[in-house]
Amino acid sequence: MAKVAGFLSQTSGRLDDNFVMRQTAFGTVIAKTPRKKGVPRRSEKQANMRCQMANMGANFKLYDGKLAQAFEGKSAGLSDFNLFVSSNYGSGATYITKQERMAGACVLASYQFSRGSLPAVGYALNDGVLVSDIALGNLVIDEGTTVSDLTIAIVKHNDDWEDGDQLTFFDAVQWQGSDGIPRATMTASKVVLDTTNETPLLDVVKSEGFTSVAASDGSGYVLGMNHALKNEGAAWVHSRESGSTLKVSSQRLLVVNDILEKYQSDAAMLASANSYGGINMKTAYLNPA
């Protein structure tokens, strides 16, 4: 260690990769520092969180512009993305590499995309077809069905639904290009329930998520999809304006995806972690002198 004074214009800072300069009560001190060997690696917990966020961010982007204020009652300073991440971290962890993310990768996973005080819309697979618990009575949706017809059926046969509520259906498709990168696209169809609206329903929404499916108990029909899910994710969400706020139901995308298991494996996590600099198994961030 050497002490110098008088001729240096800066009082502290790094001189090069191996020396730093500090101003002390005794003068300016130049000290030698250990040379770092590459980028410090993250602990396993830090790497796991970083790697999960890559695919969560890609999935969150699918909803952009399709459902605002999806997380009811969020605190000031928090965004929907913050709450999307906190709602899904550790649940069905899915990993993509940094290079895949930069190329636009997105692996559809069963993430929760809304959280609120309205009762959740229930849904399940019936012979591969996604069906909801929204009862329609004897309504069979066809080209002659109006928004008013749907409204009357839903309000009559389901508690907690009102004229003026909005029903939105999300349909996401998984695909891979010639480069092998997994990508996804999403569409949304929405209808505001209105007993006075005589517009044909299928002029407002797509039949993919607005089809009458026979109820399993023989009690009539429920709202469902018009095809079986295959490399696809779908869900309905209920929303309602209440004064200056928006109430929503808590929903999670239901996904049938052939490639999902591959991207939820330990190998996928390790590949993702290595693409971001690797895991420091000893969690030691300073190299010895």
What pLDDT digit, counting tens, does each position of 108-141 carry? 999 999 999 999 999 999 999 999 999 999 999 9
- Amino acid symbol at 276: Y
Verify that 15 and 116 share a domain, yes or no.
no
Query: The pTM is what?
Result: 0.80
Is residue 37 assigned to a domain?
no
pLDDT digits (tens, 9 = 90+) for 185-196: 999 999 999 999
pLDDT digits (tens, 9 = 90+) for 138-150: 999 999 999 999 9
Radius of gyration of the chain (CA): 27
Q: Give the Cβ contact number of residue 199 at 10 Å.
A: 12
Is residue 101 assigned to a domain?
yes
Structural tokens at position 222 = 């429920």
Strand-pair category, 13-14 with 19-24: antiparallel
What residue numbers bound the domain in which 16 lies? 2-32
User: Per-residue DSSP letters for 240-267?
Assistant: EEETTEEEEB-EE-EEE-TTHHHHTSHH
Strand-pair category, 182-192 with 166-176: antiparallel
Verify that 271 and 203 share a domain, yes or no.
yes
| Mean pLDDT, residues 156-160 | 96
CA distance 235 to 134: 12
Nearest-CA neighbor of 165 among 113, 236, 238?
Answer: 238
For the chain, the domain total comes to: 2
Verify that 8 and 133 share a domain, yes or no.
no
Q: What are phi and psi of 89, to 5 degrees?
A: -60, 125
Structural tokens at position 53 = 């966020």
Calculate ∠ Cα 120-125-128, nearest 5°. 150
Is residue 79 assigned to a domain?
yes
Is residue 203 assigned to a domain?
yes
Verify that 19 and 157 share a domain, yes or no.
no
Spatial neighbors of 84 by CB under 8 A, at least 6 apart, are: 56, 60, 70, 71, 111, 112, 113
Placement of tokens 């990769």 in the chain: 17
Is residue 114 assigned to a domain?
yes
Verify that 137 and 215 share a domain, yes or no.
yes
Is residue 287 assigned to a domain?
no
Placement of tokens 């770092």 in the chain: 36
* Residues facing residue 42 across a β-bridge: 279
Q: Give the Cβ contact number of residue 7 at 10 Å.
A: 6
Verify that 134 and 48 share a domain, yes or no.
yes
Strand-pair category, 27-32 with 19-24: antiparallel
Nearest-CA neighbor of 10 among 19, 191, 70?
Answer: 19
Verify that 85 and 11 share a domain, yes or no.
no
Q: Give the three-class secondary structure for 42.
A: strand
Verify that 248 and 116 share a domain, yes or no.
yes
How buried is residue 16: exposed, middle or buried, by Cβ count under 10 Å (0-12/13-18/19+)? exposed
Helix axes 44-62, 266-275, angle to 10 degrees: 90
Supply the pLDDT for residue 247: 95
Whether 287 has a pLDDT exceeding 50, the answer reads: no
Higher pLDDT, 133 or 218: 133
Supply the pLDDT for residue 6: 37
Verify that 262 and 202 share a domain, yes or no.
yes
- CA-to-CA separations, 111 to 7, 19, 39, 106, 262, in angstroms, rounded: 61, 48, 32, 13, 17
Verify that 15 and 117 share a domain, yes or no.
no
CA distance 183 to 175: 5
Verify that 91 and 22 share a domain, yes or no.
no
Is residue 289 assigned to a domain?
no
Verify that 98 and 12 share a domain, yes or no.
no
pLDDT digits (tens, 9 = 90+) for 36-48: 555 455 555 666 7
pLDDT digits (tens, 9 = 90+) for 11-34: 445 445 555 556 666 665 555 555
Is residue 213 assigned to a domain?
yes
